[in-house]
Amino acid sequence: TYSLQLFYSFFKTLVGQPVVVELKNDMLIQGTLVSVDQYLNIKLDGVRVEDERKYPHVASLKNSFIRGSVVRYVHIPATAVDTALLQDAARKESQQPK
């Protein structure tokens, strides 16, 4: 079940899953989700940049902490999420009187 701080809680359910984080500078970083915090900063283990030829700059990175503010998308396996449940929770949260 999802509650307040909806996406923080949602990402916590994905710990251990392989994800691809797309940054606002167009880099795509693959890795296993280790943790997420309230700012949606993301920690990944076993990182690999998708276009290794274009990005030799980060070839020696083992793991990465990605600042939430620079994330454009987090690509996740379709099987990792109950979309209906998430949609429902998001709808409920958006209807909360503020």
Partner 1 sequence: MDDLRNKKVLLVTTDGRVVVGILKGFDAQTNLILSKASERAFSTDSFREIPQGLHVVRGDTIAIIGEIDEEKDDAIDWQAVRADPITSIRI
Paired with 84 in beta bridges are: none
Our finding on whether 60 is near partner 1 (CB under 8 A) is yes
- CB 16, CB 32: distance < 8 Å: yes
Measure CA of the first residue to CA of the last residue in the chain; give whole Å: 21
Given 3, 54, 82, 87, the residue binding partner 1 (CB under 8 A): 54
Our finding on whether 65 is near partner 1 (CB under 8 A) is yes
Q: Dihedral, CA atoms, 15, 80, 84, 21, nearest 10 degrees? A: 70
Our finding on whether 4 is near partner 1 (CB under 8 A) is no
Given 3, 5, 50, 67, the residue binding partner 1 (CB under 8 A): 67
Furthest CA-CA distance within the chain: 49
Our finding on whether 20 is near partner 1 (CB under 8 A) is no
Site for partner 1, rule CB under 8 A: 23-27, 29, 41, 47, 54-67, 69-70
